[in-house]
């Protein structure tokens, strides 16, 4: 169980779920603290954009996607992949 909990993906999901529990219970500040902890502790988390979105909503600040990746960097695209068919 310790190995599972030490995996960064699992750790970020646990922290995110704790934050959502705080949010659903009306503890907005605690939710923001947990989401900030997620960003600090697991910076490469797949939940990073979602955590940034919730933080922007909690703090009423504009959404700033840190380390955002463009679509061409997410999905490999080869030249001629979208060319017209003969």
11 is a domain residue: yes
Tell me if 39 is assigned to some domain. Answer: yes
pLDDT in tens, the chain (86 residues): 565 556 666 788 889 999 999 999 999 999 999 999 998 988 888 888 889 889 999 988 877 665 555 555 556 666 776 666 66
Q: Return the H-helix or E-strand segment holding 15.
A: helix 8-24
Asked if 39 and 8 touch (Cβ cutoff 8 Å), the reply is: no
**Domain annotation covers residue 79:** no
Q: Is residue 30 part of a domain?
A: yes
- The answer to whether position 51 is within a domain reads yes
Q: What is the pLDDT of residue 83?
A: 67
The rounded distance, in Å, linking the Cα atoms of 13 and 5 is 10
Determine contact, residues 67/73, Cβ cutoff 8 Å.
no
pLDDT, residue 44, reads 82
Enter the pTM of the model.
0.66
Query: Within a domain: residue 10?
Result: yes
């Amino acid at each position: 169980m310790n190995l599972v909990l030490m995996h960064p993906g699992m750790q970020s999901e646990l922290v995110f779920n704790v934050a959502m529990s705080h949010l659903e219970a009306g503890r907005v500040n605690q939710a923001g603290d947990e989401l900030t902890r997620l960003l600090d502790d697991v910076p490469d988390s797949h939940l990073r954009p979602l955590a940034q979105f919730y933080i922007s909503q909690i703090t009423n600040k504009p959404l700033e996607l840190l380390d955002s990746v463009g679509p061409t960097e997410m999905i490999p695209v080869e030249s001629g992949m979208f060319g017209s068919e003969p």
